[in-house]
Structure 1
Amino acid sequence: MFKKFWLDTIYALVFILLLGFVVTQAFAFKIFDVFDPIGDAFADMESTDIVFSQLREDPLGEEEIVIVNVGNLNRQGIADLVNIISASEPRVIGMDMFFPDLKPDTLGDLALAYAFSQVENLVLVSKLELPNENESFDSLAVSNELFNQYAETAYANFITGAADQDDIKVCRTFAPKEYAKGELEYSLSIKLAYYMDSVKTLNFLDRNKDVEVINYRGNIFDYGATQAPITYFALDWYQVFDGQFDPELIKDKCVLFCFLGKELGDRQALEDKYFTPLNTHYAGKGHADMFGGVIHANIISMILAEDYIDEMNDNIETIIAIVLLYLNVALFAFIYHSLPKWYDGLTKLIQLIEAFSLFSLGLIIFNVYNYKIDTTWMILGVLIAGDALEVYFGVVKNLFTKEGRRELTELNKL
């Protein structure tokens, strides 16, 4: 009897895993998408978003990074901004924008090139293009050589999961380095962080991870456009021109030029804007909350603070999910045989308690230890175990017994 019980639980586990595989394949081919508007609304949410947007205390302001909004200035205007900021002796200037072609305004191009030539440490963005089967890129777009000759390059690409421009762009992770045309290229955040602290940046790279989770700290002051903590100091283009800043604010700092709207707080600007875990609107992601330049600033802060996020290996998560599933199968099988009248109520109660506990445990571990565990499959296994086991005992197992088949035959005769 004891041996039969454990064989039953193993067969039930195999059945549930096969059932789960069939269901996941159906979802992979989007068979049920038309019936799943709620799932679509939550598709871009992760449980850890709650930690970033609700549970964590607001961090202190970042003192090593200053962000400058270029607005809609032309190249002459950007050149003037660079000249003013450069005079305050920043440690490094990063330009989160492209200058791929020369403009009809030749004087503006020359002025910008001259401004770049006066910057001691300058990084211009590149763009990874044409991904190939070798998990690298066949092309690297850079600014025109007139500007590029005075700078290092570093790519600004983020990992968003968006297939085209109309898709929601959710940025949780980034790649520290990639290969383009066979050459190693670093991300803009890595290059700028290296100028601020080479040792910490090399320590970060020594983690040797292809993809890193961004440990977000906060946003800029944007006149109430978002509810994220105000962590980064941003200067608007007109404030720079009017001298509304202390040069000591710039000296020896990382200054990042980027687009933050026509002016700070511009809620109509959607260019280079992303959804992040700091977004308080989980379902549907109402409005993008962070510009690309601010995301780079968050990554730099993470590196300089050595405050990284680690993740549990996918294989370990899968093993834990299967072990939990089997333990639940064994427990529910015992209840099915010993307390059949209590089966539905007890299993549902146990499932709810387990699912809530797993969800809460994942949040606590992430919040306290910066360690990310994806409990999705664990929770899913717990939630389907009870009903799937009932199907196994009530349908599958009966199909392989004479008594079960005889009952079906008798039903057909009726």
Structure 2
Amino acid sequence: MSWSRNKLLYRDAFLCTVMTFIVAGLLYFTFVNLSFLDPFENTFKDFKFTDYYYSKRFNKEQRSDKIILVNIKHADRYQLAQAVNKISAQNPRAVGLDIIFKDRKLAFTDSILKASIASNDHIVTAYFHENDSVVNSDVYFKTDNAKKGYINLNLKGQNSVIRDFIGVKGNNNEKEHAFATKLALEAGFIDESYAEKELKKPIPINYIGNKDVFLNFDIDEILEQDDIPALKDAVILMGYLGDGNTQFDIEDKHFTPLNSEWVGRAVPDTYGVVIHANILNMLAKKNLIYRVSIFPTYVLAFISCFLILVFSIRLYKRNSFVFDITEKIVQLLLSIVLLYVAILLLQANIYLSVVPIILLSLLGIEMIDYYEYLVTYLNKKFKWESHLL
């Protein structure tokens, strides 16, 4: 008799889980197809529970001291050329210019800047894709030894949070490298086979912190010093890191998981060159994050929902009053446990999208009452057996 009742319990838990997934699918379809819900949809797209992990994580031990940032501020081209020459004289592994020189300016300063770029074999320049076109520096600055990478960071739209990174696009003659990938290759942190194998699909960026996590200099400090030992054998990223008024300066700033505001982000939090530095640090350490794909995620969500329903249906059957009192407590504890597991996995470089697992498990508990109405009706019509009856 006991085995028979347990069989009914497991069957009810399974069918209630299936019902939960069907209802969730219908709710999701409604949610994404009603235009007046678009602001809410966009808000939730830009929110991940795991952002808390990055917003509170400032682990200097995981950084590479051989990745150095130089804030170019609004320096003119003569100052940039002088800074490139000073940096090159320190024998760095590579120098990345996160700058686009779209137009010609003064012939004299342009010629000096071009000569500075051409004289260093380890300089990586930047370009970016805009709609269906490619935006490069003016052809005047093209050199025979040119090495360049695309600086596009946003994969999903202007206001999206930068969480993912694609390091290599295309194949063979049409192959393109991301800016950080090209620097990692030039510095010898990775080789071409590694890039081909690991970086052709979107991978989560393993953020270690904002600009203060990295050793950084202002361009004025570079120009004022003759000898900077820290630059030797380092990878130098030259880009914009603000010009004094950091609170309201959003030039080349992006939303990232480092933002302390989880929802309703208003002001971008991280400069583009810092994001490139985080990516480069990840590649230098070969500390990539493995993303659990959609199918295994929903398999885990199904298992989680099923197990919590076995427990909840059994409690509901024994004492519905106790179930009603403890239901919200169980849901809260379940959310905390699942979120904690997701953060532990992230510490082990495994990225699990825990939101669908949490939401489906919580919805499953709410569906027990509706499932009871369904089996009561089926019992009257077809003598359907259920653990709840």
Smaller-chain TM-score bracket: 0.7 to 0.9
Please list every run of at least 4 consecutive aligned residues from structure 1 whose deviation after the TM superposition is greater than 6 angstroms. none
Q: Between 342-351 and 370-379, report the one with greater CA deviation.
A: 342-351
2:385 equivalent in structure 1: none
Q: Distance in 2 between matches of 1:218 and 1:381?
A: 32
Q: Distance in 2 between matches of 1:347 and 1:45?
A: 26
2:1 aligned with 1:28: no
Q: Distance in 2 between matches of 1:78 and 1:248?
A: 20
Residue type at the aligned position of 2:143: Q
User: 1:154 touches 1:186 (CA, 8 Å); kept in 2?
Assistant: yes
2:321 aligned with 1:341: yes
1:161 equivalent in structure 2: 156
Over 3 Å counting, the alpha-carbon distance change for 1:92 and 1:17 in structure 2 is: same
Q: 1:236 aligns with which of 218, 238, 241?
A: 218
Q: Distance in 2 between matches of 1:141 and 1:360?
A: 43
User: 1:259 touches 1:291 (CA, 8 Å); kept in 2?
Assistant: yes
Percent of aligned pairs sharing the same letter: 24
Q: Distance in 1 between matches of 2:193 and 2:38?
A: 48
Q: Distance in 2 between matches of 1:323 and 1:390?
A: 20
2:64 equivalent in structure 1: 62
Give 1:260-271 correspondences, 5 Å limit.
260-263=241-244, 266-271=246-251
Q: Distance in 1 between matches of 2:303 and 2:103?
A: 58
Give 1:208-357 correspondences, 5 Å limit.
208-220=199-211, 230-243=212-225, 246-263=227-244, 266-357=246-337
Over 3 Å counting, the alpha-carbon distance change for 1:114 and 1:50 in structure 2 is: same
2:129 equivalent in structure 1: 128
User: 2:54 touches 2:209 (CA, 8 Å); kept in 1?
Assistant: no
Displacement after TM superposition at 1:261 (Å):
2.1
Over 3 Å counting, the alpha-carbon distance change for 1:90 and 1:157 in structure 2 is: same
2:80 aligned with 1:78: yes
Over 3 Å counting, the alpha-carbon distance change for 1:90 and 1:129 in structure 2 is: same
Q: Distance in 1 between matches of 2:44 and 2:39?
A: 14
Displacement after TM superposition at 1:62 (Å):
3.4
1:134 equivalent in structure 2: none
Residues 184-214 of structure 1: per-residue CA shift (max 9 Å, x gap):
1000101111122254674354335501211
What TM-score do you get using the length of structure 2 for normalisation?
Answer: 0.86
RCO comparison, higher one (Cα < 8 Å, 6+) = 2
Displacement after TM superposition at 1:293 (Å):
0.8
Residue type at the aligned position of 2:108: L
Residues 5-24 of structure 1: per-residue CA shift (max 9 Å, x gap):
55544443332221111111
Over 3 Å counting, the alpha-carbon distance change for 1:121 and 1:56 in structure 2 is: closer
Displacement after TM superposition at 1:30 (Å):
4.3
Over 3 Å counting, the alpha-carbon distance change for 1:76 and 1:335 in structure 2 is: same
User: 2:253 touches 2:268 (CA, 8 Å); kept in 1?
Assistant: yes
Which runs of no fewer than 5 residues in structure 1 stay unpaired?
A: 131-137, 221-229, 405-414
Q: Distance in 2 between matches of 1:34 and 1:258?
A: 35
Q: Distance in 1 between matches of 2:15 and 2:93?
A: 64
1:53 equivalent in structure 2: 55
Residue 134 of structure 2 aligns to a residue whose secondary structure is strand
Residue 16 of structure 2 aligns to a residue whose secondary structure is helix
2:143 equivalent in structure 1: 149
Q: Distance in 2 between matches of 1:106 and 1:160?
A: 37
User: 1:47 touches 1:363 (CA, 8 Å); kept in 2?
Assistant: no
Residue type at the aligned position of 2:218: D
Instruction: Please provide the CA RMSD for this pair.
Output: 2.9
